[in-house]
Structure 1
Amino acid sequence: MSTSHNPFAQGGWISAGSGHSRDGFWDTSGSPPSIFGALPYPSSPALPPPVPNSILFVFTEFAPSILNCTVTDNRAATVFSVATETTPRFTFVKDRDARNIAMLEWQTHPLVEVRGVVPRMEVRAWLALSQDARSRIMTVGNTRYAWAPSGSHILLYTTGTSVPAVLAKISKTPNSVTLELSPAALELGLLQCAIVATVLMQSGRNID
């Protein structure tokens, strides 16, 4: 595939087959985020649609990356924490009571499990790259949702409808990552999966 036809090769992206995400900063030149193989390069820098009445979750206190951080809510209260073993082979996402709600196992093809929601499986199956390499399809139960870049953000859309609805938006600053979830996303039970997907796509690790 030539560079001109490979969305992963444009703007500093690596090949789709490598499947790396990136926890680096947004490019201050105003170009879209370089998250490498986690998602393809956006086709345009258009402003993303808003997420009405969104609930904010902020990933902060990186040590040194999102793989070791805290997640706070609108009131700045810690609601989740992310911790990675020194080895490091496992990453755990814990709730405010320090109970494990999700686990990532870092190996050749990383594994993911979200307790009671996503059975243990390969990340490349749970966040599968779409055929056109323009989005990642997240499967929760029997429903599929699509993560796709839009300008300097990553949006979560519904699928299977003529007009996809925006359910979530990921944004980034030099010191934090923000996940905005719509009330509909919370009603659909997507909170934990969206938290885990954000960690994966901003981890800087191979996720395929």
Structure 2
Amino acid sequence: MPSTFNPFAHGGWPNDYSSSSNAGTVPQPSIFGALPYPTQQSSSSSPRLLTFRITEYDPDLQILKSTVVDPNMNPCFHISTDTPTPGFTVIHDTAHQPQVIIEWARHPVVEICNVVPKTRAKDWLALSSDRSYRTMRALNKTFVWAKDGADLCLYSAGLGSPELYARMSREDEEVLLDLTMEAVRIGLLGVCVTAAVLLQSGRGID
């Protein structure tokens, strides 16, 4: 896996999104106040982040066959692909119950148990018309994945100051998901793992 992390180069996002052509695309609805601007925050005001790791990659399938571990390095999800059905990725919990199913069709489809009904991945992680961020709907809320330096961050969408929920980054042979305690509390862990699999799979979703 490359050591440099550029989330805009995965899942159909170009390295230089500012110069890409948008001819023929349908503009996404405007999200007021969705994109955060860098601000200086003291360490005391920064939310505490819990680090989950997507690790133990299969040499061939990479993130599509891996394990998600919690901050104490205990497994919390297992990601398998083409087993038992070719063309599908399944994310199981520790009780071996499927929680997420991704179908790698011409237009990939994702379903998250009791959270996201069967939906095209490109609609669930909708790319903005200027290709600078993606919106995501889950848990009756709208979120925004936007680049922050070398990382990809998940924020609340809407008016007012955006709230940080998660940060996606790469470290050596792992994908790191740093979630706030609030994000874990409301059930965003599985959602963020699903987004990471889609965006870091190396397969186009648009």
Q: Is the aligned partner of 1:133 residue 2:131?
A: yes
Aligned residue-pair number: 180
Distance 1:70 1:128 in 2: 26
Flag structure 1 segments of 5+ consecutive residues without an equivalent. Answer: 1-23
Distance 1:34 1:162 in 2: 26
Distance 1:194 1:48 in 2: 26
In structure 2, do the counterparts of structure 1 residues 38 and 143 end up closer, same or farther at CA, with 3 Å as the change threshold?
A: farther
Supply the AA of the counterpart residue of 1:71.
Answer: V
Q: Is the aligned partner of 1:59 residue 2:54?
A: yes
C-alpha offsets along residues 174-208 of structure 1, whole Å, 9 cap, x if unaligned? 31011011012123321211110011111001112
Q: Is the aligned partner of 1:35 residue 2:30?
A: no
Q: Is the aligned partner of 1:100 residue 2:98?
A: yes
Q: Residue 184 of structure 2: SS of its match in structure 1?
A: helix
Report what 1:75 is aligned to: 72
Report what 1:3 is aligned to: none
Distance 2:162 2:182 in 1: 13
In structure 2, do the counterparts of structure 1 residues 186 and 39 end up closer, same or farther at CA, with 3 Å as the change threshold?
A: farther
For the Cα contact (< 8 Å) 2:3–2:170, is it kept in 1? Answer: yes
Shift in Å at residue 36 of structure 1? 3.6
In structure 2, do the counterparts of structure 1 residues 55 and 129 end up closer, same or farther at CA, with 3 Å as the change threshold?
A: same
Q: Residue 124 of structure 1: SS of its match in structure 2?
A: helix
- CA-based RMSD: 2.5
Flag structure 2 segments of 5+ consecutive residues without an equivalent. Answer: 19-37
Distance 2:40 2:69 in 1: 23
What is the percentage of aligned positions where both structures have the same residue? 36
In structure 2, do the counterparts of structure 1 residues 110 and 79 end up closer, same or farther at CA, with 3 Å as the change threshold?
A: same
